[in-house]
Amino acid sequence: MDAEVNERWPTVVDMTATPATRRSDATRAAILRAARERFAADGYDRATIRAIAADARIDPSMVMRYYGSKEGLFAAAAEFDLRLPELTGVPAGRLGELLVRHFLDRWEGDETMVALLRAASTNAGAAERMRDVFADQLGVAVARVAPDPAGAPRRAGLVASQMLGLALTRYVLRLPPVADADPAELVAWVAPTVERYLRGEPATPR
């Protein structure tokens, strides 16, 4: 299964006093950067190792040596932290605004999330990672501010549905009214939705 990835330090003795640099680290980083770009632009299947290697100006076989397989490369490239701010103590009515603005900022500045989203449609591993990101990171953050502990997972799921829908229509599908909108305007429209999902009255089927 695991292809004996070269991921350990030289035996016996360190190369330098500062432990964390090898000559190949620049190559590793270049591969990772090119991989994120390609996965974000093309999705998992269409992003080929050959194209990624060409972008990083190295041989395709280097990708295999450093990351073991295409799946391994993707796993490394799709490491993602939502970097959610602390939500407790945010004044009533400001939580939605804070969250929507944070998501938009986070996505504009880091294409990893778009790569993960594009890949998750066809790659089972990417979908699972997406589930983990939202269940773990968003899930626990929401649990700390939800008025009802039992309802927290559903509230988090609803927030995820709106935020991922926003990301899908804006960055992947590029639906014009959403893709061209000013971020501040999107925040103004969507914030009340998120606020209600987080702290509003539990909805009951009629």
Partner DNA sequence: GTCGTTTGCCAACAACCGTTGGCAACGGTA
Partner DNA sequence: TACCGTTGCCAACGGTTGTTGGCAAACGAC
By the criterion CB under 7 A, which residues form the site for DNA?
Answer: 3, 6, 9-11, 13, 15-16, 22-24, 26-27, 47-51, 57-65, 69-71
Instruction: Specify the residue, 85 or 165, whose C-beta has the smaller distance to its own copies.
Output: 165
Asked if residue 198 binds its own copies (CB under 8 A), the reply is no
The alpha carbon of 160 is separated from its chain's Cα centroid by a whole number of angstroms, namely: 12
Asked if residue 189 binds its own copies (CB under 8 A), the reply is yes
Residues 6+ apart with CB under 8 A from 30: 56, 57, 58
Helices (H) and strands (E) in the chain, counts: 11, 0
**Helix 70-77 and helix 112-120, axial crossing angle in degrees, nearest 10:** 130
Q: Which two tokens stand for residue 94?
A: 């400001």
Q: Residue 29: in which H helix or E strand, if any?
A: helix 25-46
71 binds, among DNA, its own copies, none (CB under 5 to 8 A by kind): DNA
**Please, which of residues 93-152 interact with its own copies by CB under 8 A?**
97, 117-122, 127, 130-131, 134-135
Size of site (CB under 8 A) for its own copies = 54
**Please, which of residues 38-57 interact with its own copies by CB under 8 A?**
42-43, 45-46
List, in sequence order, the alpha helices (H) in 110-151.
112-120, 124-132, 139-143
Which amino acid is residue 152, in one-letter code? A
Asked if residue 181 binds its own copies (CB under 8 A), the reply is yes
- Provide the binding-site residues for its own copies, judged by CB under 8 A: 42-43, 45-46, 97, 117-122, 127, 130-131, 134-135, 153-154, 156-158, 160-166, 168-170, 172-178, 181-182, 184-185, 187-190, 192-193, 196-197, 203-206
